[in-house]
Structure formats: C-alpha cells, structure tokens
Structure 1
Amino acid sequence: MKEKLLFKKYPKIRIFIVFIATLPLFFLSFFYLLYEDRILPNIEFAGYKVSGKTRMEAEKYLKENVNEPEKLILITNDKKFDLLLREINFSFDFQASVDSAYQAKKNRGLIKNFINLPFSILNKKELPLIINFNNQSLEEYLSIISNQLGKEPVYPKATFEENTVFLNKGSPGEKVETLKLKKEIVKRLSTANYTPVFIPLRTIDPRLSDTEVEVLKERAEKLIGKSLTFNYEVYNLLIKEKEIFSFLKINDYQDEEIKKIIGKTSSQINRDPQNAVFRFEGEKVKEFQAAKEGVRVDTEKLEELIKLNIDKLEKSEEKNLNLTIPVKTASPLITLDEVNNLGIRELIGKGSSKFKGSIASRIHNIKLASSKFNGVLIAPEETFSFNQTLGDVSTFTGYKQAYIIKDGQTILGDGGGVCQVSTTLFRAALDAGLPITERRPHSYRVSYYEQDSAPGLDATIYSPTTDLKFKNDFSRHLLIQTIFEEKTLTLTFEIYGSKDGRISKVTKPTITDIVPPPEDQYIDDPTLPLGQIKQIDYKAWGAKVKFDYRVEKDGKTIFEKTFYSIYQPWQAKFLRGTGPVI
C-alpha cells in the first residue's frame, strides 16, 4: 500500500524505474539491429579483424590484406624442403571464411542469439581461414619427403650359414609422422602463419638385448633343416628354414614378414567368381563360357596355421609338415540354369563407331578391351561401371602401346584405343534409353569418333579417376554383346533385354565457339639428327558441343539431360633435330 502511495505521490520515480528497467532492452535491441547483417564483435582470422563488417566488406578486406605465400618451408635439424603451394593447388576461400565468421555466435536460435549478443564483446573468437588444396598432391609430396628422411629399421633376423645360426641384432630407424605433419601444415596455412614447420620424426628401435639374442637364437636352432608345405589344387607353397627364420621374434612372430608371403600366395590363388557368359542368338540366349566359382585365400587362418605349425616344428622332431591352404569360396551369381528367368528377349539399344587409320597396336587394344564386355549381364537397379568391368589396362594384361591423351599431350601409352570402346558403349546406352550417371568427353576432338558421327558423342575413361557409368532402370536384366569387325574397322555394342515402351531421343549436336588450333610448335631435340623433323602431336580445332538426351515412356519424360563437351584447340607438335648428322 505504501509503495502504491509512493508511486502516486512521486510519479517521476515510477518513470525513472521504468526507464532503468527498459534501458538494457533498448541497448540490446539496438545492438541486435546494428549487427543483424554484420559480423559480430571480437571475431577475427589470424589477427585480421572482420568485426562489424558486412559479408562483402569482410571478403574484400581479407582479399586485400591476407598474404598468400608462394611456399611453406619444412625443416629438420639439418635439412630444408620447400613446399610450393601452387603444386598442391592451394588457395584461400575467403567467401566461405566470411560465411563462417558471419554465422559464428548466430546459430543458437533467435532468442538465444538476442540474449547472447552483448557477451560477444567479452569473448574473443579467432577462426581459421578456410583453405582449398589438392589433398592427393600434398600427400604425394609428404610421401617423397618421408622416403628421403625416413630410415627403415633393421629388425633382428636369424640366418643359417655353414650349419651355424647367426643373428643380426637389428638397428634403429626413423619415420616421418606424415599425419601429424599434414595437420600442422593445414593449421599453419589456415591461420596465415608461414613460419617454418618442423618435420616430426619418430625413432623406431627394434634392437635386442644380449639375453633376447640368445632366446631368439635358441628358437632358430630348433628349426634348422625344417620346413612347411602348403597346397591348394596345383599350387604349392614351400616355406623353408630361411623364410621361417625371418618370421621369428622374441616369444612371437614378425607379422609383417608372414603377411608378405601370404600376399604373394593370395595373388597366385585368388580369383573372382565369374558369371556364365552368354550371347543372344536366334531370339534365344546361349551360354558360351561356363560359370566359375570364386576363390579367396583365408589370410587370417593361413597366418594362424603358419604360426601354429612353426610352434609344432619347434617342439617336435618332424622335419616337414604338409598342410592345405585355407580358402573361402563364392558362387557365381548367374548360371545357364538361371538365365531363362532374366527376361532377355530382344535388342533394346545399339551403338557403333569406326576407327579407320588406327595403328595396329590400337586395333589390337580395341579388340581386347571390347572382348571384356561381350556377354556381360547387368542386373536391375545395378549401376554399370566401365572401368570395373574392363579391369587393369597394362602390358601385363595383354595391352600394347598406342596413342593416349595424358598431361596435355598425345603420347604412346598402355591401352591406347580403349576410349573407342567406352565411346561406342556410351552411344549404345543412349540408344537404349538408359540413365547415364557419369560421362566425360575427351580434352580435344578425336577424328576416330567423328568418322560416322557428329562431335560430342564420345566418352573418355581413365581408371580410377574417369569412368563411364549408367544404370539399368529396367525391371529385367540386360545383356551386352560386342561385335568387332576387323575388315571394316567397326565396333558395335548391342544391348539386349525386355522393352518397356520407352523411347530414346537424342538431338543433333550443336557446335559453337569454334577456335582454330594454335600455330605448330617445334621443339629442339639433340637426339635427332640435324634437319630431321618428327611429328609427335596433331592439330585439332576447339569447340563447344552440346546435345539433349530425353527418354519418354507413355507420353511422359522419365529422364532428360543435356550433355556438354568443351574441346580445347590442339596444336601440332614437332621435334626438330639439332644433333649430329649420322
């Protein structure tokens, strides 16, 4: 009652109290509105203050003030390495950095943001700059450093010479802690701290004491003249005393040494299950290659068997133990008995290409690569990978050297011509109305792919980075069949399945921005006689090409995509002899 009388008697007191009570709310509202579209106070990047700035202002400020170095120096006690940042495609992402600063302390919800805004003045927040770099290039560079600085430790090893066991005690080594080094490099760059980075090295010391030497020597002596023999089908693995000695460790085994010999064994035995391969003939699917069971060495069991039986040899008088290599088997998914239920009834898509003018090795590679796809089945909802089906491309798998595009030039390389196969399959997949999920054009226009086609209908591949993929969105299996015609130098892909009413439409490619090739380039070559000219690359016009791909069913579009190809203008290159005339 007294308080009410007091407010009535002194109205100014009431006004003052209300003013005092609402003053913080006023300042809070003012503060909130002031920083609604600006970065909050006390936020900075490596000492570069961006508080109070709009996104555009902050980004401009960082671009003008943050220094982007050419290199970062990596050091040890006596060595120095220059990490050239252009070689890892390093750059600052100022836009993303500013976005992170703008969102800092503004992501708690409207009410919490409103309440916590004033406290940002009291709490400093230093953010890292967001950076971009090629992770693979950085790791390759660190691997080079690691190989130069690292020193492999020599592990204790027993040897047997002239009926005597000798033991190498081992010696220490050093290893670069690449993960730790990489984290430090990223930290330095994202905080604009370009001081030299010390390369962390870890010492590995496997040396044995005199007592341990005697223990290991005693183990080895018990195994003199003893061996293990492992068998699987026609394969035999004989582990003699020399290999057994290399496996030994104090009261244990050198796991890495055992894994090496298991790896070699696995490479000789392992095989993937192979589905039966079929061909479509006279409206009927026929088998022309039988299914094969897959086999994998059970590496864990084999390692366990090796250790258990070395123990057995140590404790017995037996000279040799014969054992079976443990394997795991996998059945093929498709056999002839099952193919009749797959719904392969008719041709649904076809693509072809010509390769007149190809050198003999290129023709050989096209024939070999296309054979890998003949009779391949694609299950419903399966995404087909060209690279996965093709497998390894090298001289070891039967390919010859022919011209390929690599590192900005045309050079001889293993498997030149394989892209003729991927291009032809791409055209067949388009004709079949299949969703193309991954496709990349060549760097420049290749004459082979325009012998019977407009430009832009090519597809390059380069494992593991560049692939051709498409999805079987039919309800039944698809069967691929290849036809290689050496007389006419024509390759054809046919895709069989069950038609579902879809219609594939491919527009005529549109060619724009045609650019003539640069002037011919001549490169002096002292290995060629003076005056001799040798062409090593061929000119091609640059252009942009696009075409539309639309698949319709029951009058509705079920899939559509525009394919773009940007072909660089390509200059002819010649080697010009400057050497002595022979």
Structure 2
Amino acid sequence: MKSTFSPFLSSSQIFLSLLILSFLSIPMSAQGAVPTSITLNIGDKTEILSSLDIDHLTHLETNNYPLLRHKSTIENIDFCPTKILFCNFSLSQSRLYSFSLITRRTPDAKAIEDYVSTLANKTKQEPVDAHFSVNENKVVITEKEQIGQTLDQQASIRLISYGLIHAEEMTNNIMLPLIIIEPKIKAEDMDKLGLVELIGEGSTNFKGSTKSRIYNIERALKQFQNLIIAPNEEFSFVEHLGEVDGEHGYLPELVIKNNQTTPEFGGGICQVSSTVFRTAIYSGLKITARRNHAYPVHYYYPYGMDATVYIPKPDLTFINNTPASILMQSTIEGTKLTFHFYGTKDGREVKVDGPHILEHNPDGSMKTVFTQEVNNADGRNFIRDSFWSNYKSPSLFPHPGQEPNLTSKPKDWTEKEWVAYKKIHP
C-alpha cells in the first residue's frame, strides 16, 4: 500500500503546532500575595475580614498574556532580514511567540458594595437630640446631645478594593472614613428655641379604661414626651407615633376598624391624639387634618373634640404658627391626661366656642360643632375654623361576639315584634 504521509508541512501548520506547544510549555504564574485577614477600623469599632470573607469579596481570573518584545534591529538577535516565510523555518516559534497563563485575584464590585452597605447599617450611630423637661414651670436641660456618624460608603468601597489587590503594600489594617451627623437640637440652642413659658394645654379623661388600654396610652406618650416642633413645621401625629405592634411594646385593645369594634395592637392611642388635638386648639395652632371617631366614645367627652388616628391615615396634623419652637410635655394625674405646650407667647388670643351638640338621636348617633378663633396681639383675626363631627350609631360597630343591630324591620316580622326589638336595641 502506498503511504499517504507527507514529510513536509506547510509553514502555517508548523507555526500552529509550535504555537500550541508554546502554550503548553509555559507554566501558570504564581498568584500574588493574598492576605489571610484584614482589619477594618470604623471609628472606635473594628471588623475583621477573614480569609473566607476575602474569597467572597474577590474572584480569580486566568488569562493568556503575550510576552511582547520591543527591540531594534541591532538589539534583536532574532531579527530576520528576509521574508516572514523564511523566518518561520529558521527561528524557534517559541522565541517568536511567547504567551503566559496568568491568574489574578480581582475585586468583586457587587459583593464589596453589598458588604459595605451591610457594614454601614451595622455601624451607623444615629444622632441624639438634646432633651429638655419642665421643672417648676421652667424648661431645663435633662440630657445633652450626641453626635451621630455613618460610614462613607463610596470611599470605603475604594479602600477595601485597593487593599484586596495590593496586599503587599498594605499593613492589613484599613481605616475607613466616617461622615459626621450633627443632631438637630443641641443644648446650646435652648435660648434660640424660645422655650420660655406655657402657651397652651388640653386634657382628656380615660376613666374606666382597661389595664391594657392604659398601658398603650402610657406607651404612646413616650413617642411625644419632650418632642420639639420647630416654627412653621407641620406636626404629624402618625409620623412621630412610629410602628404600632407587639414588637414595639403595644398590647391588643379595642379599636374601631372595618365597621367593627375589635381588638388590635395599640387600642387607646387615640386618647393621646385627642389630647394633643385639644392642646393644639387651645394654643391657637392651625389644624390641617383631623377626623372624629366613627361613633361617640365616652373617653373623649365632651363629644366633638376628639381626633382619631390610624397608620397611615387618618392623621392629626397642625402647623406651629408661633414665633418659637414648641416643647411637648405630658402629665397624668389619676385618670386625667394633659398635654402642655411650652414656647414663646406672642400676644395671641384664643377663643373656643363649643362643642355644641346639634343633633342627638335615640340610637346614639349625633352631630356636633365647635369653633376655634385666634386673634393676634393687635386684635386681627387670622384663624377662624369650625370643626364638625358626624357620629354614627354605636350599634353599627358591634363588639366581639355582638351582632350589629337591625336598622329596619325584616319582612317576615310583625309590627309588634319590631317594636319589641327596638325597645331592647334602641
């Protein structure tokens, strides 16, 4: 049989063969120095990046890199002055085309960003405003402010990324920068705030409340004790109330919801909102949002001066239209809850007419109204608002285990049966 093997290869075949051999013969370069751990300093706190953390924040990349030669015709001993085809036969291909497999550790941008974000939340210190209280009708400082701080995330990402790939230049100890957060209210600002005197107060009575309802009232009061409202600021009760659930210290108690009177965390908070509402009225502040309860509740007598709240709506809001800040203080004497607003008097005169009961029906429904009139020191009126309340019958909002009262005679009832029913369920 005649052999088909040819002892001659083309120049391109030889070039390709030698190129492959060149790849196979060059070993992988050693990986650069990798730190076993890195200490991160964040203010007075430290975090340790372990070797596992470092592996998570980086990834390995292996690439082929040509080893280029840049020499003149005099310096280059491999210079071939003739055609490339001749050079391919006369020179070693591994000397003409050298490549190296290099493995590098590079930062994982997304992993580092996520890590720094988590670290920032973990180490953040919120600023604490200075606290004030009232002693013998005089506002005093009870606690000085505390400066807050948060991690400079963008700068920290750059520093950590650099430290991971330049370990040989680092001491494995990285100082991460912080951003200072100043408190809004400082002790030195007390005179500027104008917390000089009592400008108004209002009260409600929670006599007859259950222990859990009283507990919720006292818990909610903590959200508003020593709260400061800046001039021209619109106060939101719901915003300052915060979360209302078992995790935040509230107990289940009766609330009006979905046409029922049913237990829910925070029942009794409206005792606080209604008291704040009355205090804002008597202080001559501008009310911007208020809603009465669905039916008359005896805790808020006289009827017509209550304010129901629920997260997120309805809310109680008003504007501090006085020339100074307002400090909110609350006290409980027996079952009487009172809010006191301290600030600076500007000579305004506040008149409240009512509440007047306009309609009171046998089923407990009623309509009321009262008017707030505020005049400045010159006697000029700048607020005249009427607050209308339309209460439905309590029977429409049954308590647990109760059925709602009928409002019309069933078709299969006699007139006598209907009259008897109305006597029992007015």
State the TM-score bracket (shorter-chain normalisation): 0.5 to 0.7
Tell me, what secondary structure is at the counterpart of 2:150?
strand
Deviation at 1:248, TM superposition (A): 4.3
The yes-or-no answer on 1:458 pairing with 2:306 is yes
Which of 369, 372, 376 aligns to 1:549? It is: 372
Taking a change above 3 Å as real, the CA distance of residues 232 and 398 of structure 1, as seen in their structure-2 partners, is farther
AA paired with 2:108? Y
Deviation at 1:352, TM superposition (A): 1.2
Partners in 2 of 1:258 and 1:407 — Cα distance?
47
Could you state the TM-score of these two structures normalised by the residue count of structure 1?
0.50
Contact map agreement 1:393 1:414 (CA 8 A) in 2: yes
Contact map agreement 1:367 1:484 (CA 8 A) in 2: no
The yes-or-no answer on 1:423 pairing with 2:423 is no
Deviation at 1:244, TM superposition (A): 4.2
Structure 2 counterpart of 1:482: 330
Tell me, what secondary structure is at the counterpart of 1:340?
helix
Partners in 2 of 1:235 and 1:481 — Cα distance?
36
Contact map agreement 2:107 2:164 (CA 8 A) in 1: no
Structure 2 counterpart of 1:391: 242
**Cα displacement string for residues 172-224 of structure 1 (whole angstroms, at most 9, x for unaligned residues):** xxxxxxxxxxxxxxxxxxxxxxxxxxxxxxxxxxxxxxxxxxxxxx9xx9898
**Cα displacement string for residues 257-286 of structure 1 (whole angstroms, at most 9, x for unaligned residues):** 545444443333334432211123235321
Structure 2 counterpart of 1:335: 186
Contact map agreement 2:238 2:315 (CA 8 A) in 1: yes
Taking a change above 3 Å as real, the CA distance of residues 558 and 366 of structure 1, as seen in their structure-2 partners, is same
Taking a change above 3 Å as real, the CA distance of residues 231 and 457 of structure 1, as seen in their structure-2 partners, is farther
Structure 1 counterpart of 2:138: 284
Deviation at 1:482, TM superposition (A): 1.3
Which of 559, 562, 565 aligns to 2:383? It is: 559
AA paired with 2:144? A
Partners in 2 of 1:244 and 1:404 — Cα distance?
53
Partners in 1 of 2:120 and 2:390 — Cα distance?
44
Tell me, what secondary structure is at the counterpart of 1:295?
strand
Structure 2 counterpart of 1:237: 47
Structure 1 counterpart of 2:353: 507
Greater helix share, structure number: 1
Deviation at 1:513, TM superposition (A): 5.4
Partners in 1 of 2:299 and 2:37 — Cα distance?
59
Deviation at 1:495, TM superposition (A): 0.7
Contact map agreement 1:223 1:241 (CA 8 A) in 2: no
Contact map agreement 1:426 1:468 (CA 8 A) in 2: yes
Tell me, what secondary structure is at the counterpart of 1:508?
strand
Structure 1 counterpart of 2:315: 467
Contact map agreement 2:201 2:340 (CA 8 A) in 1: yes
Structure 2 counterparts to residues 318-333 of structure 1, below 5 A: 321-333=172-184
Partners in 2 of 1:516 and 1:271 — Cα distance?
57
Structure 2 counterparts to residues 57-136 of structure 1, below 5 A: none
Deviation at 1:548, TM superposition (A): 1.6
Contact map agreement 1:371 1:482 (CA 8 A) in 2: no
The yes-or-no answer on 1:360 pairing with 2:186 is no
Contact map agreement 1:283 1:345 (CA 8 A) in 2: no
Structure 1 counterpart of 2:78: none
Contact map agreement 2:160 2:174 (CA 8 A) in 1: no
Provide the identity percentage. 34
The yes-or-no answer on 1:498 pairing with 2:344 is yes
Structure 2 counterpart of 1:195: none
Deviation at 1:378, TM superposition (A): 2.3
Taking a change above 3 Å as real, the CA distance of residues 542 and 469 of structure 1, as seen in their structure-2 partners, is same
**Gap regions ≥5 residues in structure 2:** 1-27, 62-105, 403-426
AA paired with 2:142? F
Contact map agreement 2:35 2:172 (CA 8 A) in 1: no
AA paired with 2:275? T
Contact map agreement 1:247 1:253 (CA 8 A) in 2: yes
Tell me, what secondary structure is at the counterpart of 1:361?
helix
Deviation at 1:560, TM superposition (A): 1.6
Partners in 2 of 1:298 and 1:305 — Cα distance?
11
**Larger Cα-atom Rg:** 2
Taking a change above 3 Å as real, the CA distance of residues 574 and 377 of structure 1, as seen in their structure-2 partners, is closer
Partners in 2 of 1:440 and 1:287 — Cα distance?
35
Deviation at 1:235, TM superposition (A): 4.4
The yes-or-no answer on 1:301 pairing with 2:155 is yes
Contact map agreement 1:246 1:254 (CA 8 A) in 2: no
AA paired with 1:561? D
Q: Which moved more, 1:321-330 or 1:349-358?
A: 321-330
Deviation at 1:483, TM superposition (A): 1.1
Contact map agreement 1:294 1:331 (CA 8 A) in 2: yes
Contact map agreement 1:379 1:476 (CA 8 A) in 2: yes
Tell me, what secondary structure is at the counterpart of 1:333?
coil
Structure 2 counterparts to residues 235-274 of structure 1, below 5 A: 235-248=45-58, 253=108, 255=110, 257-274=111-128
**Gap regions ≥5 residues in structure 1:** 1-217, 518-540, 577-582
Partners in 2 of 1:244 and 1:393 — Cα distance?
41
Structure 1 counterpart of 2:198: 347
Partners in 1 of 2:246 and 2:43 — Cα distance?
28
Contact map agreement 1:440 1:459 (CA 8 A) in 2: yes
How many correspondences in the alignment? Answer: 325
Contact map agreement 1:384 1:472 (CA 8 A) in 2: yes
- Aligned Cα root-mean-square deviation (Å): 3.2
Tell me, what secondary structure is at the counterpart of 1:509?
strand
Partners in 1 of 2:141 and 2:372 — Cα distance?
34
Structure 1 stretches of 4+ with a deviation exceeding 6 A read 221-225
The yes-or-no answer on 1:571 pairing with 2:397 is yes
Tell me, what secondary structure is at the counterpart of 2:133?
strand
Tell me, what secondary structure is at the counterpart of 2:217?
helix
Partners in 2 of 1:260 and 1:542 — Cα distance?
57
